[in-house]
Amino acid sequence: MNVITDKPQNGVTDSAGDLVRIKGLRKSFGAHDILNGIDLSVKRAEAAFIIGPSGSGKSTLLRCVNNLETYQGGELWVDDYLVGAQRRGDKWYRASQRCTAARRASIGMVFQRFNLFPNMTALDNVTAGLRLVSGQSRSEAKARGMELLHRVGLADKAHLYPLHLSGGQQQRVAIARAIATNPALILFDEPTSALDPELVGEVLSVIRDLVKEGMTMIVVTHEIRFAEEVGDSVHFIDQGIVAESGKPEEIIRHSMNPRTAEFLARIR
């Protein structure tokens, strides 16, 4: 493994109560800069909502948090570890695949397009990680899976395949799968964008319940009213930077940033 830094450069590990700490995060694809110095922190039990125009880097940011994408600059901490790195003494090395997989198990992620395994039932989709990653027995995983499907209102759909579920039902299965291992953090990447309008409410209801339970989450969304209703914070990302952050009402109702106000006026 290659040394990537001797010590953290920005001191972002000192913020008590923060589960996610991001400082100066940069990410590019070839010559195309996507993230241009993201600064963002999320406290434990906080529901942080990210809004912004398409192509502004929102989804890429989530993928960096979950180490599905590597970043080229800055620091990204989740709890006490530097994403993409592991420590030996005073030096930081690029994380091994085993280390990355173990850390990723502590972060749940819900994608736009559900990403369910089409050849698995709803129950098997939820329990696959419990059996293959967490090492639970089939009976233990089944009990946990049924508990979660009941929680999202789909216990009666346990033995159906994704093909036979509506989009809203598939996304609820995806949420059940994401929380199955009791992750410290859950990431939602526009979880309602692929749904017909009449199905959006059932997914938002499940997310609302997770917020009430104190789940730490980062939600990329265009559901502005929902962000205002249940969010603890809202962050407007534009051209790869966080242009404005604050309480939902401050950002959504009383934005001081002309670019934020323009964006919100356009999508309302």
pLDDT tens for the chain, 268 residues long, are 455 554 555 444 445 689 999 999 999 999 999 999 999 999 999 999 999 999 999 999 999 999 999 999 999 999 988 998 888 877 878 888 888 888 888 899 999 989 999 999 999 999 998 887 777 899 999 999 999 999 999 999 999 999 999 999 999 999 999 999 899 999 999 999 999 999 999 999 999 999 999 999 999 999 999 999 999 999 999 999 999 999 999 999 999 999 999 999 988 7
* Residue 258 included in any domain: yes
* Residue 143 included in any domain: no
* Residue 132 included in any domain: no
* Residue 37 included in any domain: no
- Domain of residue 60: give its range: 43-67+97-106+183-267
Q: Cβ neighbours of residue 262 under 8 Å, at least 6 residues apart?
A: none
Q: How many residues are there in the chain?
A: 268
Q: Buried b / exposed e across 112-123, counting CB within 10 Å, b at 16+?
A: bebebeeeebbb
DSSP symbols for 44-60:
TT-EEEEE--TTSSHHH
DSSP symbols for 11-54:
-GGG-TTEEEEEEEEEEEETTEEEEEEEEEEEETT-EEEEE--T
The domain total for the chain is 1
| DSSP-assigned letter for residue 6 | S
* Residue 137 included in any domain: no
pLDDT given at position 16 = 67
* Residue 163 included in any domain: no
3 state SS of 208: helix
Q: What's 204's domain CATH number?
A: 3.40.50.300
